Amino acid sequence: MYGGSASSVEEAVNRVGFSEILKLVGTASAARLSEQPLESYGIGAQHLRCNMLYGAFASEALARTAGADTRSAYLAGLLRPLGMMVLNRATQGQVSAPQRFAPTRWATYSDWEGGMFGVDNCAVASLILDEWRFPAAVGESIRIHYLTRPEDHANPLAALLNVANGLAARVSRAFAGETRWWDITDDKLHAARLTVDDFEPAIMETEAAFDAAMAVLKT
């Protein structure tokens, strides 16, 4: 056995590395959470899975460049669609096809969710993560990561999460009802403590991690 047997859980974790274990768990979680499509959103299971994983890896890579907490960034990127999953589940058997989200009728998911539920998916995800005792920074960053208000830019993790999804949008891994939020601007980069020069190494790291995760899921 490589390096001898592990005498404890702690030794095994240290040997593999916590960040690598987090990626393995995240990949498995994304696969499990995205087994079913989000029919009310028009999001297929494969597209959901790709968005979750790419967002997680992009957030982690950008956080490393920005000197931010990579674990919180990874978790925020991975769990960002959680609110959509919950709201989609709430609509099962309750809404007809014409009541589901359609980009020809609603500009964003938030517009549709506001009329249907009176709350958007970001607030739902934040509430659930708080209940599950995730780090407060993770839920708060997801709650405001659309950056719809000027004051939202004061949260570096929320800005970083927004930019990460901007990168996902560039490779067609974004969702139709969110594309208006993902323009990468100088203000967002400044808020996330990033520069345009940070993109290329972050994209390379993200693509490598994403391809590795997808290869694991295919085995």
Domain range summary for the chain, segments of one domain joined by +: 11-218
pLDDT score, position 132: 85
- How confident is the model at residue 35, as a pLDDT? 65
pTM: 0.85
Q: What percent of the chain has pLDDT over 70?
A: 84
SS (H, E, C) the chain: CCCCCCCCHHHHHHHHCHHHHHHHHHHHHHHHHCCCCECCCCECHHHHHHHHHHHHHHHHHHHHHHCCCHHHHHHHHHHCCHHHHHHHHHHCCCCCHHHCCCCCCCCCHHHHHHHHCCCCHHHHHHHHHHHCCCCHHHHHHHHHCCCCCHHHHHCHHHHHHHHHHHHHHHCCCCCHHHHHHCCCCHHHHHHHCCCHHHHHHHHHHHHHHHHHHHHHHHC
**pLDDT given for residue 27 in this prediction:** 52
Name the CATH superfamily, with its identifier, for domain 11-218: Hypothetical protein af1432 (1.10.3210.10)
Which of the residues in the chain have pLDDT under 70? 1-35, 219
CA pair distance 100, 156, nearest whole angstrom: 33
Residue 121 near residue 87, CB atoms below 8 Å: yes
Cα gap 70→62, rounded to integer Å: 8
